[in-house]
C-alpha cells in the first residue's frame, strides 16, 4: 500500500521562516484519503513514543487518555479539565492482549515546529498499525498568544490529515501565570471539546472532580 503523503511530507526550515499570506493553504487531506491504521510503515525506533502496559484497576477504568507527544504538551492540564480522563505520561497506554478493549487516546501537542513534528511522528506510528490503541484524534494547544505564522498553520493542516479529528485550543495567559485550571474560566473552544467528549460518552457527565496525580 502506498504511504500516506500527509504523514510523510516534511516542512523545510525555510518555510518555517516564511509568512507569505498570498500562498494558498493546503486542504486538511485529499478527498477520499482517510487515515487508517496499518497504512504506513512503522517509524524508526528513535521516532517512536514510549509504551507502558496498564494493569491497575484505576487505570483500567480510565475512559480517555491524553498522550502528550513531547514535554510541556499540556496533557496534565487537559486531565485537570475532564473528569474520567488521565494523562498518559508521554507514553502509549497499552492494554495487555486479551484483557480488555484498547485504550482510547487523544494525542496532545503544542503548535510550535517541534510539537507538530512530534505529533506527526505519533500519528505515523499509529497509522502503521503498530500501536494497539483507539485513537480519537489530536489536540493542538497554542504555544504562544496570537496568530500562528503561515508555515506553522500549513504544518498544522498537514498533521491534521493523518488523524481522525483535530481540536485547536487557544493560548490561555491566566493559566500560564498560575491561575487554577478550570472549565469555568476556559475559552469557548475548550468547552466545546469537553462537551463533545461527554456527548460521545467517552467520559462521565458528573460534575464531581476526579483529578489524578501525574
What SS3 string covers the chain? CCCCHHHHCCCCHHHHCCCCCCCCCCCCCCCCCCCCCCCCCCCCHHHCCCEEECCCHHHHCCCEEEEECCCCCCHHHHHHHCCCEEECCCCEEECCCCCCCCCEEEEEEECCHHHHHHHHHHHHHHHCCCCCCEEEEEEEECCCCCCCCHHHHHHHHHHHCCCCCEEEECCCHHHHCCCCCCHHHCCHHHHHHHHHHHHCCCCCCCCCCCCCCC
The tens digit of pLDDT for each residue in 102-121 reads: 999 999 999 999 999 999 99
Question: CA 201 from chain center: how many Å?
Answer: 19
- Residue-level pLDDT at 11: 46
Residue ranges per structural domain of the chain: 44-199
Beta bridge partners of 93: 52
Span 148-198, pLDDT tens digits? 999 999 999 999 999 999 999 999 998 888 888 988 889 999 999 999 999
pLDDT tens digits, one per residue of 23-61: 333 333 443 444 555 566 666 666 788 999 987 878 888
Q: How many residues are given for the chain? A: 214
Q: Which region among 1-5, 43-47, 143-147, 167-171 has the lowest average model confidence (pLDDT)?
A: 1-5
CB 107 within 8 A of CB 135: yes
Task: Find the mean pLDDT for residues 125-149.
Answer: 95
The pLDDT, as a whole number, for residue 64 is: 96
Task: Report the distance separating Cα 142 and Cα 210, nearest Å.
Answer: 25
The answer to whether 103 touches 54, Cβ cutoff 8 Å, is yes
Higher pLDDT, 212 or 42: 42
Amino acid at each position: 500500500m502506498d504511504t500516506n503523503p500527509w504523514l510523510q511530507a516534511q516542512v523545510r526550515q525555510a518555510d518555517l521562516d516564511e509568512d507569505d499570506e498570498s500562498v494558498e493553504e493546503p486542504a486538511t487531506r485529499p478527498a477520499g484519503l482517510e487515515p487508517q491504521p496499518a497504512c504506513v510503515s512503522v517509524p524508526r525506533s528513535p521516532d517512536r513514543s514510549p509504551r507502558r502496559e496498564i494493569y491497575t484497576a484505576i487505570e483500567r477504568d480510565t475512559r480517555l487518555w491524553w498522550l502528550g507527544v513531547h514535554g510541556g504538551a499540556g496533557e496534565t492540564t487537559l486531565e485537570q479539565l475532564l473528569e474520567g480522563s488521565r494523562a498518559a505520561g508521554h507514553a502509549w497506554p497499552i492494554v495487555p492482549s486479551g484483557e480488555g478493549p484498547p485504550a482510547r487516546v487523544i494525542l496532545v501537542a503544542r503548535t510550535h515546529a517541534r510539537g507538530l513534528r512530534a505529533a506527526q511522528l505519533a500519528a505515523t506510528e499509529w497509522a502503521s498499525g503498530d500501536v494497539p490503541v483507539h485513537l480519537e484524534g489530536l489536540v493542538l494547544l497554542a504555544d504562544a498568544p496570537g496568530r500562528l505564522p503561515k508555515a506553522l498553520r500549513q504544518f498544522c493542516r498537514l498533521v491534521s490529515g493523518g488523524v481522525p479529528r483535530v481540536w485547536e485550543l487557544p493560548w490561555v495567559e491566566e493559566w500560564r501565570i498560575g491561575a487554577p485550571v478550570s472549565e469555568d474560566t476556559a475559552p469557548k473552544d475548550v468547552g466545546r471539546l469537553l462537551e463533545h467528549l461527554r456527548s460521545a460518552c467517552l467520559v462521565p457527565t458528573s460534575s464531581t472532580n476526579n483529578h489524578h496525580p501525574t
